[in-house]
Amino acid sequence: MIQPIQLFSTLAPKKVQSNKNNQQFYSVNFATKPDTFERTEPKAKNIAPAYVSFLGYAHDEPIRALGNIICPCCGVEMMTQKQMNDVSKRLGNTSSQAVSTLKNYEKYMHPVEKECFNMMKDWAKSKPDASLKDLLQENKEPQLIKLQAKQNTILDNVDIISKELSENEQAEVKKVTDITRKIVSSTDKEIKFKRKTFLKDIDELQSKISNEEVYAKMRKEAEKMPTSQNDVSAFVVKYAERTHQEIGERLVKLSVGTIEHIKPRSEGGRNMVSNYMLECGGCNHERSSIPLGDWVDSHPEMKENTQKYIDEVIKRINDGKMKGFSFYPAAVAHTLFQQSDGRLDLKVEGVKEED
Ligand SMILES: [Zn+2]
């Protein structure tokens, strides 16, 4: 694989610049030649020391500063950390205060959060002085019943899939689903269903099951267990136990732009700009270290959204808002192309040359 550090060296640096920490780096002029950039094998072997320091340096401020740009993964416009801090400061103690603050940030909310917020707005009308926690607590019961029904359906489906296995194997599966059923319907407050634990139990079944195909089907069904990120009932049930402040923050928290390592750090992805993308906290957290190719397969909308992201980045570069970063669109497009095994093949066009 072509390492970005070699790749950067294929084109002559234009001039040396300093960032605000006084670290020197070269401003590179290959954004206007994406074809050369993407298709040429590295030739030069000698890399200037300043280059190494620039590429090794986690220079992510200009990426973070992209701020209100769409998430290249889910396509929702992202919030800045500054906006998030503003939300945190203005939630007050009552639902009416929280609602009036959060209304300004509604467009950043993800679908589940938006739906929960709409419910909270309704509930707050009759109880403006109650806290968000009080509202969730009062309305938790029907959501809990809905959630349990969904969880039980998934457990039943896992059992149904296991019917293709031997009787002994079926019994092993049943052990896990039965324990989980008890946890799901437990009225003991100390006993809480944890999706992670359930999936771990399913993972442990793998060595006991001979038919890989059936196991994979079961695993896939088990992954459908609702989370507070993808299910309103799960959100209400989980956050009814949190504070007013936490609930209010949670409605927008995952919309804040975060630095995504396109090649995950755990896979050897480096802290360098060409490996960075601004991505909403929700997608970043959900992807974790899943290889990009697999992630794109399960999130096909990314093809369109990464292009929109890059187009907006180019627009900002051309508007003079990202000085010294004209290399970024081609560099990040290259990383996306490589890491997704060609699934993300972006057009990088019209980047104006910097003086
Ligand atoms: Zn996202």
- Residue at token pair 């640096």: 13
Residue 224 has pLDDT above 60, yes or no: yes
Per-residue model confidence as pLDDT tens digits over 64-75: 888 899 999 999
Q: How far is the CA of 17 from the centre of ligand 1 (A)?
A: 33
pLDDT of residue 289: 86
Beta carbons of 283 and 256 less than 8 angstroms apart: no
Domain residues of the chain, as ranges?
A: 4-76+256-339, 82-253
In the chain, % of residues over pLDDT 70: 83
- Distance from the alpha carbon of residue 284 to the mean position of ligand 1, in angstroms: 7
Measure 188 CA to ligand 1 centroid, in angstroms.
35
Residue with more model confidence, 38 or 274:
274
pLDDT (tens digit, 9 = 90+) per residue, 204-213? 999 999 999 9
- DSSP 3-state assignment of 175? helix
Instruction: Tell me the CA distances in angstroms from 31 to 122, 234, 329, one per residue in order.
Output: 50, 45, 7
In angstroms, what is the span from residue 79 Cα to ligand 1's centroid?
Answer: 11
Using DSSP's 3-state secondary structure scheme, residue 333 falls into helix
Mean pLDDT of 130-139: 97
Burial of 163 (0-12, 13-18, 19+ CB in 10 A): exposed
Distance 77 CA to ligand 1 centre (A): 8
Q: How do residues 8-53 score in pLDDT, each as one tens digit?
A: 433 333 444 444 444 444 434 333 333 333 322 233 333 333 333 3
Name the range with the highest mean pLDDT among 210-224, 258-272, 284-298. 210-224
User: Ligand 1 centre and the CA of 317: distance in Å?
Assistant: 22
> Would you say residue 106 has pLDDT above 50?
yes
